[in-house]
């Protein structure tokens, strides 16, 4: 059975998926096909149910919950850090400002709107956000992926770390991305993919240097520095990536609940989110 696994071309996703997509672990009869696309594209494809397994933003999940459930492993979770808002100059507030954002279904955008509802979003590909800030085309930029470390190289100022803000407000980690599996694969295949995803993450963490060498190929803006890539990967491939834990799952439910209550998410989040909670 062929399983297409789609994820972002960034170093943390590459790190955690490397063992699974490179034949380093037994896929138990499943043929794994690797698909790369930016997160906003993956969110849009998930609306159509395009791939059997896909990385998506948690913000997008309520809109695809009819087709997918979230795998218990493989999440990108920040503990006291997350997407950042940067600008050329310090400013006291981004209220009413033009802010470049990497997609309206990204979790970064959801948290930004929880932080400051009154902004003018300018949607750009994630790797064009810092450029737009530098050129003065926008007042500020919402930065995800490796740009969270490399923005300093461009002389930009940090206005807010949304993960730090979220932890201060809630005391919880910030769940950003997840891996979803299509419900129509059936219980047996879903259970197999749960196990394989966890094995892939654990293999990468236990063979860090090997997985990092692969992830370096996707380390945009980090000058292909192994140590900077290691730092970034360790931010988002951690114990919560192996398993969300109850603390992580609580954070997921609160994030989606607040998004829905504030009208940012327009579809009510489902009660059952994770595949190991699903009765098929």
Q: For residues 210 and 14, is the Cβ–Cβ distance under 8 A?
A: no
Q: For residues 222 and 149, is the Cβ–Cβ distance under 8 A?
A: yes
- Residue given tokens 């810092």 in the structure block: 130
CB-based burial, 189-220: b 16+ in 10 Å, e otherwise? bbebbbebbbbbbbbbbeeeebbbebbbebbe
145 among known catalytic residues: yes
Q: For residues 265 and 257, is the Cβ–Cβ distance under 8 A?
A: no
State yes or no: 107 annotated in a binding site. yes
Cα distance between residue 16 and residue 8, in whole Å: 11
Say which residues have a Cβ less than 8 Å from residue 272's Cβ, sequence separation at least 6.
Answer: 69, 278
State yes or no: 140 annotated in a binding site. no
Cα distance between residue 173 and residue 182, in whole Å: 26
Q: For residues 212 and 226, is the Cβ–Cβ distance under 8 A?
A: yes
Which of 7, 34, 59, 145 is flagged as catalytic? 145
The per-residue DSSP string of 100-159 comes to EES-TTSHHHHHHHHH-S--EEEE--GGGHHHHHHTTSSSEEEE-TTHHHHGGGGTPEEE
> Which residues belong to the annotated binding site for substrate?
107-108
Annotated catalytic residues are 145
């Amino acid at each position: 059975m062929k399983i297409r696994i789609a994820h972002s071309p960034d170093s943390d996703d590459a790190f955690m998926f490397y063992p699974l997509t490179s034949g380093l672990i037994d896929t138990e009869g499943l043929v794994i096909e690797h698909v790369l696309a930016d997160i906003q594209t993956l969110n849009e494809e998930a609306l159509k149910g395009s791939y059997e397994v896909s990385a998506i933003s948690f913000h997008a999940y309520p809109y695809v919950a009819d087709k997918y459930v979230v795998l218990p492993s493989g999440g990108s979770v920040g503990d006291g850090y997350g997407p950042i808002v940067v600008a050329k100059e310090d400013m006291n507030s981004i209220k009413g400002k033009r802010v470049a954002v990497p997609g309206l279904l990204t979790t970064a955008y959801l948290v930004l709107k929880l932080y400051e509802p009154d902004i003018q979003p300018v949607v750009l590909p994630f790797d064009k956000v810092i450029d737009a800030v530098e050129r003065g085309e926008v007042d500020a930029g919402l930065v995800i992926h490796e740009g969270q470390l490399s923005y300093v190289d461009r002389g930009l100022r940090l206005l807010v770390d949304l993960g730090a803000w979220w932890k201060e407000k809630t005391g919880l980690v910030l769940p950003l991305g997840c891996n979803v599996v299509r419900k129509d694969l059936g219980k047996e295949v879903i259970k197999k993919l749960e196990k394989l995803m966890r094995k892939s993450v654990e293999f990468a963490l236990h063979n860090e240097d090997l997985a990092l060498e692969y992830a370096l190929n996707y380390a945009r803006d980090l000058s292909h520095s192994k140590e900077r890539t290691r730092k970034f990967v360790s931010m988002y491939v951690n114990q919560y990536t192996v398993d969300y834990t109850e603390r992580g799952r609580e954070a997921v439910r609160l994030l989606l609940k607040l998004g829905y209550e504030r009208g940012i998410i327009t579809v009510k989040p489902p009660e059952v989110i994770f595949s190991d909670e699903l009765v098929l």
